Amino acid sequence: PPSPRKRRGAAWPPGLAATTSTVLPGCEPIRLLGEGTFGTVVLVRERSTGQLFAAKAMSKLQLIEAQQLASIVTERQVLREAGPHPFVVQCHSGFQTPDAVVLVLEYVSGGDMYDLLKMHGCLTEEQMRFYLAEIVIAVAELHRHDFVFRDLKLENILIDEHGHVRLTDFGLAGKFVSGEPGEQAIFDISGTAIYQAPEMLADKGHGRVVDWWALGVLAYVLLAGRPPFAANESREQLHHRILNEELDLDNDDKLVSTSDACKDFIRRLLDKDPATRLGSARSDAVDVKKHPFFDGIDWGGVENLDLPPPLSPAKAPPLLNGAPTNPQEVKEARERLADKMCKPSLGGLRRKKSSKKALDAGEYKPVQVLGSSSERVSIGLDFGGTNKLQSGKTWTGTADDYGREIVR
């Protein structure tokens, strides 16, 4: 699902307090942070500790109708296996209600890389090197757990209050089978168009090196303020350019003052052949780290957060104790949140053709809700006991990660 853009300043509609107490017991809603095609992200405060979290609620009905159930299972799996990590957003809890799936995530208050670029303009090489170093470490961690991100872009790179990065939004991630360098294991096309690698578009199967292609696109965007392949054309024309056009970085007017090492770094990341692309070696991220562009980088210092961020992050708006700041924003928040978290019964899903195949495959099952005899959909989120909590329990969706029962 697309990463939600921020809508700062909107207060949580007070009329949904009852729903919140059911979905997030012990939490006080503050404001709507953003929304995407399937999810609404809300800032909440845990009353007992005062700690802030970002609650991402996704409508089961919309996920099912768009055949996107697998995406939330994948996102949850990535967050469990690759975290906690200094450059990956942390998931504190995950569960489902009769009508929604909820992930309680770390609240990252500094906006995203898009906001950073908008506020400061194009980055210098030195500034970009800092952020790319943190991103490389984060992507390496995903690959270490056999995940391909497949959606690395400005909007999916959050910036914390100190200026460090957090990767987020893993619904499009894919699982690959470890093996020989260049092994191709994933065949569906995912990701944002301007960041898609040629092998994805050619439908030949792809592996982890698509993330290094996306890193090359990201590097170009951070320096030039625009993507390397024009995005104002039709999707077919864009795909044609990605597949066939060779970039002439030496004569690019946006990279006049860029060093040869930086140009070579981008050029090798944007190698159309995944077998020779930077990062294609068995060593994966180590291959990327060894490029001369990163000469002088203290990788241990990067991972330990010892290096000071070069730019100040965007400032989050004051909380105002949850008080409304704009009646129109409150109205909009009410409509959006009700759409995701207050859906009517899903008992009629068995009559929908779009849901029949998934139901027949046993992807979810009916459960009894609040003593009613109506059927609701329960998404299978038990990972087979392979990922247990510290308490020894496996998360199944019936309780949160703290062991607290969720009202169903």
211 assigned to active site: no
- CA atoms of 274 and 79, how far apart (whole Å): 27
Residues 76 and 173: their CA atoms lie apart, in Å, by 11
Question: Do β-strands 147-148 and 174-175 pair in parallel, antiparallel, or remain unpaired?
Answer: antiparallel
DSSP line for 38-59: SEEEEEEEETTT--EEEEEEEE
For the chain, how many residues are written? 408
Residue 317 corresponds to which tokens in the numbers above?
């708006």
Residue among 151, 160, 287, 400 flagged as catalytic: 151
- The CA distance from 150 to 212, in Å, is 10
3-state secondary structure labels for all residues of 239-274: HHHHHHCCCCHHHCHHHCCCCHHHHHHHHHHCCCCC
Distance separating alpha carbons of residues 73 and 380, to the nearest angstrom = 8
Structure tokens at 5: 């853009």
Which helix (H) or strand (E) segment holds residue 224: the answer is helix 209-224
60 a known binding residue?
Answer: no
List the catalytic residues: 151
Q: Which residues are annotated as a binding site for ATP?
A: 56
